[in-house]
Amino acid sequence: MDFTELGLRPEIVRAIAGYATPTSIQEKAIPVVLQRRDLIACAQTGTGKTAAFLLPILQQLSIGRPSLGPRALVITPTRELAAQIGDMTKRYGKHLNLRSAVVFGGVGIEPQKRKLAGGLDLLIATPGRLLDLISRKQASLNHIRTIVLDEADRMLDMGFLPDVRRILSVMPKKRQNLFFSATMPDEIESLIRRTSREPVMVEVARRATPVSSVTQVVHPVQTDRKKALLKAILKNRNMHRTLVFTRTKARANQLAKALQTSGHDATAIHSDKSQNARMRALAHFRDGKFDILIATDIAARGLDVEAISHVVNFELPDTPEDYIHRIGRTARAGGSGNAISLVSPQEHKKLAAIERLSKQSIKQEPVPGFLIATDASKIEPRRKLKRQTTTPSRRKLKRPKDSSFSRNGERQTLRAGRKNSHQSKRTGSRQERSFRDPHGPQSGSPD
Ligand code: AMP
């Protein structure tokens, strides 16, 4: 199957000449979007999901008639992700004569107002800034025919759902709805039920499945030796583009300083940094000026940098799902990558939770010189991995009584994950947890 067979125009196929074949989500979603059907897509980041909605939307826009306001809207949770989708729009639409703009908070609103006033075909936005522009009557959504909710579950986690509902309420009812979400929490499920008509469901990988091309390893180490171990690893291995995760902003800053002092080109991104500083850091990581980027989970969400060779978990995340998201930054769209976790004895429960969720054991490799005194080879006796038959990630989306979900092609039952509803307050509870963390050096406020 190639992109032409999926129904894409030559101008678009030419723009993606670097992509040899469509990814699985692209094969499944592009024809559905071109048919103007509603879509629910469960796809992890790194699967090529952005092109899965952008390519057919650009095609629709290019054959439709221009209007005063944007005809398609992409709502996405983070500024970085919005900027990335904006970049991809330019790349994919370079042979089409379409106008697009990206709006997000943390930067001046005036240039964004001017762009909106100039007329647009496609608008890409984060929820808060878009609502702000709508309430100032600077963004008119009267002409929207297609809307994408990208990373819908993360929008819920970040508390954006009320904003999203308000945005949806000011748009024409007759429109195409495209939902992209790695998991299917209750709130997202009910939003989909209320807003979409006979959506086609596609799923490409069960949630919580690490991309199989990522080689994962755990290095057991005491907390106070992690920095030295990281330096040793960076020195001895060929790690040309490395993304390091910390749980807290303070730790990200400390680590960036420590690595800079020992001669590494490292920088940090987290939510305390200004938007411009974050964009600059990201740009320098992309162009190779920095080969090490240190990030918190929220700052790194959706981050798409090509050819990240290694992801290092300096600290394991509080939730096992975040581990999957983290390591998905490497091995993007068919490539291979490495995930290294520095795990202290105090983190063994988190490691066990990750292994349970991903249903696999991660290889442990103690590093000479950094062995743990009590037991050089194991962090903690492992509990036997049980097959979870009722794991939330395997729950099916209940069929609504009043409408039937259509099926299209292979395996389109939505076996999406579903988090507990209390997880919508995850950011908050995460913060509480970190303040209670007894392991001194790891404490601090997360992003
Ligand atoms: P996404 O899942 O949308 O974040 O995409 C992850 C990465 O895959 C991006 O760097 C895209 O440029 C790349 N990509 C998207 N589609 C393809 C494809 N068909 N072949 C190769 N790479 C792709």
User: What pLDDT, in 10s, does the model give residues 427-438?
Assistant: 333 332 222 233
CA nearest neighbour of 343 among 226, 255, 230: 226
Site to probe by mutation for ligand 1, drawn from 19, 87, 243 as the one with most ligand atoms within 8 Å of Cβ, is 19
- Span from the CA of 50 to the centroid of ligand 1 (angstroms): 7
Note the residue count of the chain.
Answer: 447
Helices (H), 223-380: 226-236, 249-261, 275-287, 297-300, 320-327, 348-358
CB neighbour list of residue 328: distance below 8 Å, 6 or more residues apart: 44, 45, 46, 210, 211, 214
Distance 203 CA to ligand 1 centre (A): 16
Give me the residues paired with residue 143 across strands.
none
Structure tokens at 246: 């910390």
Pairing mode of beta strands 176-180, 39-42: parallel
CA-to-CA dists, residue 91 to 58, 95, 96, 148, angstroms: 11, 9, 10, 19
* CA 254–ligand 1 middle distance (angstroms): 33
Domains of the chain: 4-203 (3.40.50.300), 222-378 (3.40.50.300), 392-432 (no CATH)
CA 328, CA 146: separation in Å to the nearest integer?
28
Residue nearest to atom 12 of ligand 1 (CA): 48
Whether 13 lines ligand 1, by a CB cut-off of 6 Å, is: no
Q: Is 50 in the pocket of ligand 1 (CB under 6 A)?
A: yes
pLDDT in the model for residue 83 = 92
**Span from the CA of 88 to the centroid of ligand 1 (angstroms):** 10
**Closest residue CA from atom 9 of ligand 1:** 48
What pLDDT was estimated at residue 273? 73
143-196 per-position pLDDT tens digit: 999 999 999 888 887 788 899 999 999 999 999 999 998 777 778 878 887 888
pLDDT of residue 103: 96
Q: What is the pLDDT of residue 332?
A: 64
- What is the distance between the alpha carbons of residues 271 and 264, in angstroms, rounded to a whole number? 23
CA 115 – CA 112 distance, rounded (Å): 5
Residue nearest to atom 18 of ligand 1 (CA): 19
Q: Look at residue 45 in the predicted model and tell me its pLDDT.
A: 73
* For ligand 1, mutation pick of 24, 28, 50 (most atoms within 8 Å of CB): 50
- State the DSSP code for 155: H
pLDDT at 333: 57
Question: Whose CA is closest to atom 6 on ligand 1?
Answer: 46
**Does ligand 1 lie within 6 Å of residue 47's CB atom?**
yes
Question: Which single residue is written with the structure tokens 């952005």?
Answer: 50
Give the number of the atom of ligand 1 that is nearest the alpha carbon of residue 88: 12
301 lines ligand 1 (CB under 6 A): no
Residue nearest to atom 20 of ligand 1 (CA): 19
| Confidence (pLDDT) at 421 | 38
CA Rg value for the chain: 22
User: Which pLDDT does position 178 carry in this prediction?
Assistant: 95
Structure tokens at 66: 């221009």
pLDDT value, residue 205:
58
Which residue ranges in the chain fall short of pLDDT 50?
207, 375-447
Is residue 101 within 8 A of residue 116, CB to CB? The reply is yes
List phi, psi (to 5°) of 12.
-80, -40
Q: Which of 2, 329, 332 to mutate to test the pocket of ligand 1 (most atoms within 8 A of CB)?
A: 332
Does residue 56's CB lie within 6 angstroms of at least one atom of ligand 1? no
Task: Please state, in angstroms and rounded to a whole number, the distance separating the CA atoms of residues 447 and 444.
Answer: 10
- CB of 417 sitting under 6 A from ligand 1: no
Question: How many beta carbons lie within 10 A of that of residue 427, not counting itself?
Answer: 15
Q: Hunting for tokens 């195409």 — which residue is that?
A: 176
How high is the pLDDT of residue 124? 98
Nearest CA owner, ligand 1 atom 15:
48
Query: At which residue do the structure tokens 């442990």 appear?
Result: 364
Q: What pTM value is reported for the model? A: 0.62
Q: What local confidence, expressed as pLDDT, does residue 174 receive?
A: 93
**Helices and strands of the chain, counted as H and E runs:** 16, 14
Q: Look at ligand 1, atom 21, and give the residue with the nearest C-alpha.
A: 19
